[in-house]
Amino acid sequence: PTFLKVKANKVANPFFVGMAVKAAQLTSGSGYDIILKNEFSSISAEYEMKMDPISTASGVYNWAAADKIVAYGNANGINVHGHALVWHNAVPNWLKDFSGTDAEFALEVKKYITDVVTHYAGKVKSWDVVNEAADDNGGNMRNTIFLQRMGPNYIKDCFQWARDAANAAGDTSLLLFYNDYATSTNIPKQDRVFTIVDDLKASNLIDGIGFQMHNTYLSPTKAQIETDLNRAVTKGLKIHISELDIQVNQSNDISTFTNERRLAQKEKYKEIVKIYNALPAANKYALTVWGMKDNESWIPYSTELNHVGNDWPLLYDSNFAVKSSHTGFLEGL
Ligand code: XIL
């Protein structure tokens, strides 16, 4: 068979094909392990490299799961993308409840970023430094605990701390990404993201943008995605399609995965791979799919997404068998 990473390695401007993983999947000989080694050239932690699982108290870290993921990538020649240092949905309770001053709060965030980037220096190729800082409404900044406690400069501070920590640890090639979702369809949000990015770029603190791409079989359109990505191209930034999945049952109107939706999903996977593949070499980094098997995707019944039914958003079914979406991915290369 032709494997995804093998084909992606042979295109004119190659890039990493990434997969979101959990530490428990990485046992040698598991279905995940076999597919990862054959098909994928990059991994992102789906949950275990976020602040909440790593930071159990101020200056106290639980590295076990994250270390396992990073070691797996390093041992198998698989790129490791770090996800994510600062995210409003993964703030540990001790930090939510932090009773010190705002300046002390900022020092806690600085210490966390410094310690994590240092711990993985030379082992993790890139980090999402700040995730989802733009709001869904009106192109505003998202009103997170970080904005409230640290003020509007917090994003720049976080990138600076990440850069400083990497340099101090001797890693001068760490790639720093800003990561967000729904920017192709929500234009005020897209504008906000590019304002954030311009500001970071002016201080030479950013290498790339992660476009999550939790898409559906209908949206965004090809033109919407191209417009969004091209803004990053004109700024000379690397582009990571960082969390790709394609829903087919957002409105819960089907109870089984129909052939019609199967084909529509296949075409949509093909379309986005084609768009990504056509980017200039300098702007490519990785295209990462957010989970391996449909039955373990975060999408079905997600309260965060108001998703009320089942869904089949990924490349493999519950038995690790490739779907038509996988064929579509290959056809896009
Ligand atoms: C999700 C994971 O898929 C879940 O398993 C976890 O419980 C919560 O986070 N945007 C992101 C990802 O940047 O980190 C989120 O991943 C999905 C939305």
Containing structural domain, residue 277: 4-332
Over residues 156-169, mean pLDDT: 98
Instruction: Give yes or no for a contact between 136 and 92, defined as CB atoms under 8 angstroms apart.
Output: no
- The secondary structure of residue 140, as a DSSP letter, is P
Tally: H helices and E strands in the chain: 12, 11
- Residue 69 CA to residue 79 CA, distance in Å, equals 11
Q: Is-cis flag, bond preceding 220, omega within 30?
A: yes
Q: What is the pLDDT of residues 254-313, one digit of tens each?
A: 999 999 999 999 999 999 999 999 999 999 999 999 999 999 999 999 999 999 999 999
Q: What is the pLDDT of residue 147?
A: 98
Share of the chain above pLDDT 70, in %: 100
192: confidence class by pLDDT, cuts 50, 70, 90: very high
- Residue 145 CA to residue 190 CA, distance in Å, equals 22
- Plot region of 12 (φ>0 → left; ψ -120 to 50 → alpha; else → beta): alpha
Q: Which of 21, 290, 303, 304 to mutate to test the pocket of ligand 1 (most atoms within 8 A of CB)?
A: 290
Instruction: Count structural domains, the chain.
Output: 1
Q: How far is the CA of 46 from the centre of ligand 1 (A)?
A: 6
CATH of the domain at 299: 3.20.20.80
Position in ligand 1 atom list of the atom nearest CA 20 = 3
Strands 55-57 and 60-61: antiparallel
Active site residue 304: no
Q: What is the pLDDT of residues 53-79, one digit of tens each?
A: 999 999 999 999 999 999 999 999 999
Q: Give me the phi and psi of 265, to 5 degrees please.
A: -65, -40
234 exposed, middle or buried (CB, 10 Å; 0-12, 13-18, 19+)? exposed
- The secondary structure of residue 295, as a DSSP letter, is G
Average pLDDT, the chain: 98
- Residue 331 CA to residue 333 CA, distance in Å, equals 5
Over residues 207-215, mean pLDDT: 98
Over residues 160-166, mean pLDDT: 99
1: confidence class by pLDDT, cuts 50, 70, 90: confident
- Residue 218 CA to residue 156 CA, distance in Å, equals 35
227: confidence class by pLDDT, cuts 50, 70, 90: very high
pLDDT at 137 over 90: yes
- Beta-carbon contacts of residue 159 (< 8 Å; ≥ 6 apart): 129, 130, 176, 200, 203, 205, 206
Q: What is the pLDDT of residues 97-136, one digit of tens each?
A: 999 999 999 999 999 999 999 999 999 999 999 999 999 9
Position in ligand 1 atom list of the atom nearest CA 214 = 18
pLDDT at 226 over 90: yes
215 lines ligand 1 (CB under 6 A): no
Q: For residues 319 and 1, which has the higher predicted lDDT (pLDDT)?
A: 319
Q: What is the pLDDT of residue 242?
A: 99
Position in ligand 1 atom list of the atom nearest CA 179 = 13
